[in-house]
Amino acid sequence: MCGIVGYIGARQAKPILLNSLAHLEYRGYDSCGIAVLGAGLEVYKEAVRVQALEKILPKNIDGKIGIGHTRWATHGEPSQVNAHPHCDCTGKIAVVHNGVINNFQKLRQQLTGEGHKFLSETDTEVIPHLIEKYYDGDLEKAVAMALREVEGSYAIVVMVADEPKLVVARKDSPLIIGLGDRENFVASDVPAILDYTNRVVYLEDDDLGVITPEDIKVSHGGRVVGREKHEISWSVEDAQKGGYAHFMLKEIHEQPKVIRDTIGGYASVTEPIASLAMPGDTLLPDVLILACGTSYHAALIGKHILGELLRVSVRTELASEFNYSGPISSKSRAIVITQSGETADSLKAIKRLKEAGCQVIVITNVVGSTASRIADQVIYTRAGPEISVAATKSFTAQLMALYWLALPYAKVDIRRLDSLVMGLRQLPSKVQQVLDNEAVVAEYARQLSKYENVFFIGRGINFPVALEGALKLKEISYLHAEGYAAGELKHGPFALLGSDTPVVAIFAQDNTYEAMLTNVKEVKARKSPVMALVEEGDEAVQEVADSVIALPQVDALFSPVVNTVALQLLAYHTAKERGCSIDFPRNLAKSVTVE
Count CA atoms within 13 Å of residue 536 on its CB side: 9
* Least spacing, CB of residue 239 vs ligand G6P, in Å: 16
* Least spacing, CB of residue 45 vs ligand G6P, in Å: 24
Provide CB contacts within 8 A for 243, sequence distance 6+: 250
Residue nearest to ligand G6P (CB): 293
Provide CB contacts within 8 A for 588, sequence distance 6+: 389, 475
* Least spacing, CB of residue 594 vs ligand G6P, in Å: 11
Q: Phi/psi at 181 (nearest 5 deg)?
A: -95, 105
Alpha helices in 356-413 (DSSP H): 370-374, 393-406
Give, as one character, the DSSP assignment of residue 407: G
Separation between Cα atoms, residue 451 and residue 231, nearest integer Å: 48
Helix-then-strand count for the chain, H and E: 18, 25
Count CA atoms within 13 Å of residue 250 on its CB side: 19
Residue 13 vs 73, nearer CB to ligand G6P: 73
Residue 85 vs 174, nearer CB to ligand G6P: 174
Catalytic: 2?
yes
Q: Is 433 exposed, middle or buried (0-12, 13-18, 19+ CB in 10 A)?
A: middle
Catalytic: 590?
yes
Residue 4 vs 298, nearer CB to ligand G6P: 298
Among 243-251, 335-343, 348-356, 376-384, the segment contacting ligand G6P (CB under 6 A) = 335-343
391 binds ligand G6P, rule: CB under 6 A? yes
Residue type, 425: R
Residue 366 vs 531, nearer CB to ligand G6P: 366
150 binds ligand G6P, rule: CB under 6 A? no
What part of residues 343-372 is at the interface with ligand G6P (CB under 6 A)? 343, 346
Among 384-392, 431-439, 483-491, 554-562, the segment contacting ligand G6P (CB under 6 A) = 384-392
Provide CB contacts within 8 A for 239, sequence distance 6+: 23, 191, 194, 385, 387
381 binds ligand G6P, rule: CB under 6 A? no
19 binds ligand G6P, rule: CB under 6 A? no
Q: Interface mask (CB under 6 A) for ligand G6P, residues 453-492, using x and -?
A: ----------------------------------------
* Least spacing, CB of residue 319 vs ligand G6P, in Å: 8
* Least spacing, CB of residue 575 vs ligand G6P, in Å: 14
- How far CA 475 is from CA of 215, 364, 480, 572, in Å, comes to 43, 22, 9, 10
Binding test (CB under 6 A) with ligand G6P, winner from 157, 592, 593, 594: 592
* Least spacing, CB of residue 339 vs ligand G6P, in Å: 4
Give, as one character, the DSSP assignment of residue 497: -
Peptide bond into 428 cis (omega under 30): no
Residue 363 vs 410, nearer CB to ligand G6P: 363
* Least spacing, CB of residue 449 vs ligand G6P, in Å: 22
Residue 476 vs 548, nearer CB to ligand G6P: 476
SS3 breakdown of the chain: % helix, strand, coil, rounded to 5?
40, 25, 35
Among 96-104, 144-152, 374-382, 388-396, the segment contacting ligand G6P (CB under 6 A) = 388-396
The DSSP result for 214-252, as a single string, is S-EEEEETTEEE---EEE----TGGGS-TT-SSHHHHHH
Give, as one character, the DSSP assignment of residue 558: G
Q: Interface mask (CB under 6 A) for ligand G6P, residues 259-298, using x and -?
A: ---------------------------------xxxx---
Q: Phi/psi at 93 (nearest 5 deg)?
A: -115, 130
Binding test (CB under 6 A) with ligand G6P, winner from 130, 334, 389, 441: 389
Site size for ligand G6P (CB under 6 A): 16
Local structure of 48: helix, strand or coil: coil
339 binds ligand G6P, rule: CB under 6 A? yes
Residue 149 vs 595, nearer CB to ligand G6P: 595
Local structure of 56: helix, strand or coil: helix
Radius of gyration in angstroms for the set of CA atoms belonging to the chain, rounded to a whole number? 25
Residue 21 vs 594, nearer CB to ligand G6P: 594
Torsion angle of alpha carbons 293, 298, 299, 302, nearest 10°?
Answer: 170
Give the bridge partners for 65, in sequence order. 8, 37
Give the bridge partners for 17, in sequence order. none
Q: Which one is catalytic: 2, 87, 358, 580? A: 2
Separation between Cα atoms, residue 320 and residue 83, nearest integer Å: 28
Which of 127, 137, 141 shows the shortest CA–CA distance to 173?
127
Give, as one character, the DSSP assignment of residue 356: T
* Least spacing, CB of residue 593 vs ligand G6P, in Å: 10
Residue type, 60: N
Among 99-107, 175-183, 251-259, 583-591, the segment contacting ligand G6P (CB under 6 A) = 583-591
Residue 348 vs 526, nearer CB to ligand G6P: 348
Report yes or no: 307 and 314 within 8 Å, Cβ to Cβ. yes
Local structure of 28: helix, strand or coil: coil
Binding test (CB under 6 A) with ligand G6P, winner from 19, 153, 262, 340: 340
Residue 129 vs 590, nearer CB to ligand G6P: 590
How many residues in total does the chain contain?
Answer: 595
Give, as one character, the DSSP assignment of residue 413: -
Provide CB contacts within 8 A for 75, sequence distance 6+: 82, 100, 104, 121, 122, 123, 124
Residue 184 vs 295, nearer CB to ligand G6P: 295
Among 418-426, 459-467, 518-526, 585-593, the segment contacting ligand G6P (CB under 6 A) = 585-593
Positions that interact with ligand G6P (CB under 6 A): 292-295, 338-340, 343, 346, 389-391, 588, 590-592
Question: Which residues carry out catalysis?
Answer: 2, 590
